[in-house]
Amino acid sequence: MKAQILTNIDQPAQLERLYRKDKSGFKKAFNELYPEIKDNTLVGYWNERLNFTSDEILWGTRSDLVFVIIASLIAGTIAKLPALFAINEDFFYPRNIGFIVFPALMVYFAWKNKLPTPKVVFLAGVTLVGLIFINLLPNVKHSDTLILSCAHLALFLWAALGIAFVGGVQNDSEKRLGFLKYNGDLVVMTTLILIAGGLMSALTIGLFSLIGYNIAETYMQNVGVFGAAAAPIVGTYLTQANPQLVGKVSPVIAKIFSPLVLIMLIVYSIAIMYSGKNPYNNREFLLIFNALLVGVMALIFFSIAGTSTKSRTEMGILLALSIVTVMVNGIALSAIVFRISEWGMTPNRAAVLGGNILILIHLVLVAGKMLRYMLKKAEFSTVGKTIAWYLPVYCIWTIIVTFIFPFLFGFK
C-alpha cells in the first residue's frame, strides 16, 4: 500500500480508488508515510481528511438512533423474559445471557458493513444453532460441563460478532485488530455509561424515598434491567459514531497500566514463593491465576491493537510483560498437568489445559515478533498481524468446549 500511495501521490482519482478499496490499510500506510511527504498540498488535504477529529458528539442519522432504541428495547425484553413468562432464572440466565446483547450487535455491524445475504444467513444460523443447543442441554445441577458450555458459548457469540465486525471470515489483520480495539473502547464506554446510570439510579431512588416511596426493587427490576442491557449497544453506537470519544483513552489507559501490571506480576510471582500457597494444591488459587493470565494477555493485545506504532520504551515494557506472562503461564500449565496426573482428567482441567496451551503458544509467537521489532529486524505491523491471524484458533477452541465437551464428558 505504501508503494502504491507514493506512486500515485499526484493522482487524486487513483488515491481515492486505493482508499475506497481498503480504508483502514490506506490510513495506516498514509500515516506512516506522512512525515516524509507532508510538504505536498494534496497530502495535507488527505491528512486532514483521514485524521480530522471533532470535539462535538455526533449522533448519526435518524435511522441509527431508531435502530439503537429498538435494539435496546429488544435486549431489555430478552433480559426480562424470566419475569414475563415465569421462566426459572437459574436455568435461563447462565444459558442465554450472551443472547441478550450479542445478536443485536451482530445485526448492527452486519447492517453498517452491508454484509451480503449469505453472510447474514450464516451469522443467523450459527446464532440459532447455539441458542437451540444450549437450551436443549439437560438441566443438571453442579455440572462442570454445562457451566463450561454456557461460558464458552458467550465466547462463541463474541467470535460471531467479530465476523460481523470484520465483514466475513477472511484473513484481514487490520480489521481483526480493529475488532480488538473496538472491544477495548467498548469496555471503557460501557463502564462510563453504567457508572453514570448507577449514579442517576441512586439519585432517583433516593429522591423518591424522601417523599415516602420505596421504588428501589421496582426500579431495578425494570429500568435497571433495560439500562444494563442497553449499555453495550449504546456504547457500541457511540464508539462507532464518535471514535474520538474513547479512541485515544484506551491506549492511554493501556500505556499507564502496562508498567504497573508488570511490576505487580513480578512482585506477585516472588510473593507466591513465600506465601505457602501455590496452584498445585489449591484449585481456587489456580482459577484466579488463570483469570489473571487472561487479563494480562488482553492488556498486551489491546495495547498493540490500539495504535499503529510504539516507542522502543513502550514496546520494551510490553515485551517484558509478555515474557513474565509466559513464565506465569508456564507455572499454571505445569500445575494443571500435575493435577491431571494426580487426580485424573475432568472437564474443567481439560478446558483449562487446552486454553493455557493456546495462550502460551500465542504469547510466545507475539513476544518473538516484539523481540524482532526491538532488534529492528521486523516492522511493528508484524506484531499486530501475529495477534490477528491467531484469533480464529480461540474460536475453534470455544466451539470444541461448547458443542463437543457435553458429549465427550457427559454432564460431570
Question: Whole-angstrom Cα distance, residue 318 to residue 367?
Answer: 9
DSSP 352-405: HHHHHHHHHHHHHHHHHHHHHHHTTSS-THHHHHHHHHHHHHHHHHHHIIIIIH
- Please report the pLDDT score of residue 141 as a whole number: 80
How distant, in Å, are the alpha carbons of 2, 22, 52, 111 from that of 19?
Answer: 12, 6, 16, 21
Instruction: Look over the chain and give the mean of its residue pLDDT values, rounded to a whole number.
Output: 87
Of the segments 60-64, 70-74, 187-191, 343-347, which one has the largest average pLDDT value?
70-74
Asked whether 317 and 259 are in contact (CB, 8 A), the reply is yes
202-206, 288-292, 368-372: least confidently modelled range: 288-292
Q: Running DSSP on this structure, what letter comes out for residue 57?
A: P
Q: How many residues does the chain have?
A: 412
Q: Is the dihedral of CA 337, 363, 247, 97 positive or negative?
A: negative
Quick one: 107 and 169 in the same domain? yes
- Please report the pLDDT score of residue 266 as a whole number: 87
In the three-class reduction of DSSP (H, G, I as helix; E, B as strand; rest coil), residue 168 is classed as: coil
pLDDT tens, position by position, 221-273: 999 999 999 999 999 998 888 776 676 677 777 788 889 988 988 888 788 77
Quick one: 202 and 219 in the same domain? yes
Quick one: 149 and 216 in the same domain? yes
Q: Is 57 domain-assigned?
A: no
Q: Provide the CA 340 distance to its chain's centre, in angstroms.
A: 30
Q: Is 14 domain-assigned?
A: yes
The whole domain housing 16 covers 2-51
In the three-class reduction of DSSP (H, G, I as helix; E, B as strand; rest coil), residue 276 is classed as: coil
Q: What angle do CA 396, 123, 73 make, to 5 degrees?
A: 120
- Please report the pLDDT score of residue 379 as a whole number: 85
pLDDT tens, position by position, 43-53: 888 887 777 66
Which among 76, 100, 72, 56 has a CA at the least distance from the CA of 241?
56
Residue where one domain finishes, among candidates 210, 227, 245: 245
**More confident position, 174 or 110:** 110
Question: Whole-angstrom Cα distance, residue 329 to residue 17?
Answer: 46
Cβ atoms within 10 Å of 350's Cβ, excluding its own = 20
Question: Whole-angstrom Cα distance, residue 156 to residue 400?
Answer: 10
Question: Whole-angstrom Cα distance, residue 325 to residue 238?
Answer: 33
**More confident position, 62 or 121:** 121
Quick one: 233 and 179 in the same domain? yes
Residue where one domain finishes, among candidates 213, 245, 277: 245
Quick one: 151 and 300 in the same domain? no
Q: Running DSSP on this structure, what letter comes out for residue 58?
A: P
Mean pLDDT over 89-101 rounds to 95
pLDDT tens, position by position, 301-343: 888 886 766 778 888 999 999 998 888 888 888 888 988 998 8
- Please report the pLDDT score of residue 41 as a whole number: 76
Q: What pTM was computed for the model?
A: 0.84
Quick one: 319 and 261 in the same domain? yes
Question: What is the rounded radius of gyration, in angstroms, for the C-alpha atoms of the chain?
Answer: 24
- Please report the pLDDT score of residue 215 as a whole number: 94
Asked whether 103 and 127 are in contact (CB, 8 A), the reply is yes
- Please report the pLDDT score of residue 369 as a whole number: 92
Q: Does residue 62 carry a pLDDT above 90?
A: no
Quick one: 266 and 364 in the same domain? yes
Question: Whole-angstrom Cα distance, residue 238 to residue 26?
Answer: 24
Q: Is 292 domain-assigned?
A: yes
Q: Is 56 domain-assigned?
A: no
Question: Whole-angstrom Cα distance, residue 105 to residue 206?
Answer: 34
Asked whether 373 and 383 are in contact (CB, 8 A), the reply is yes
Quick one: 206 and 112 in the same domain? yes
Q: Does residue 28 carry a pLDDT above 90?
A: no
Mean pLDDT over 273-290 rounds to 74
Mean pLDDT over 381-389 rounds to 89
Asked whether 24 and 178 are in contact (CB, 8 A), the reply is yes
Residue where one domain finishes, among candidates 196, 227, 245: 245
Quick one: 351 and 263 in the same domain? yes
Question: Whole-angstrom Cα distance, residue 280 to residue 360?
Answer: 18
Q: Does residue 105 carry a pLDDT above 90?
A: yes
Quick one: 193 and 266 in the same domain? no
Quick one: 71 and 127 in the same domain? yes
Asked whether 99 and 150 are in contact (CB, 8 A), the reply is no
Please report, rounded to a whole number, the percentage of residues in the chain having pLDDT higher than 90. 45
* Number of domains present in the structure of the chain: 3
Cβ atoms within 10 Å of 86's Cβ, excluding its own = 7
Which among 223, 198, 183, 141 has a CA at the least distance from the CA of 306?
183
Decide: residue 88, CB within 10 A, 0-12 exposed, 13-18 middle, 19+ buried: exposed
Quick one: 305 and 227 in the same domain? no
